[in-house]
Amino acid sequence: MSKAINGFWRNLTYGLFDDGEKELPSQAGQESREELTEIVCRAREEWLNAQSYFNSATEPELVDHAILSVQAAERKYMYWLQQIKKLD
């Protein structure tokens, strides 16, 4: 692959796992409903990005990585959805 394509995939995959937070929100203490809503929205975006990555992966190694990325992002999204539902 060309360097540009490699750079694109590297940036995309790093973006899937780095949400810019210094620590996990669950480690910081109780979150407000607004904070949890924001976290859920970000997790949903990560999940959608992972699905897009999966849909565009063509090489077997990338497909395997994309599958794991989708599964991880989905679990993260479902976890935060459960956390916000506990507030109700």
| pLDDT tens profile 15-72 | 666 666 545 555 555 678 899 999 999 999 999 999 999 999 999 999 999 999 999 9
Rounded Cα–Cα distance for residues 67 and 39 (Å): 22
Q: H-type helices in 32-59, by residue range? A: 33-56
Domain of 50, in residue numbers: 32-88
Three-class secondary structure of residue 17 per DSSP: helix
Distance of alpha carbon 52 from alpha carbon 31, whole angstroms: 30
Is the residue at 12 inside a domain? no
Tell me if 61 is assigned to some domain.
Answer: yes
Q: Give the distance between the most distant pair of CA atoms in the chain.
A: 50
Rg (CA), the chain: 15
pTM for the full model? 0.65
The count of domains in the chain is: 1
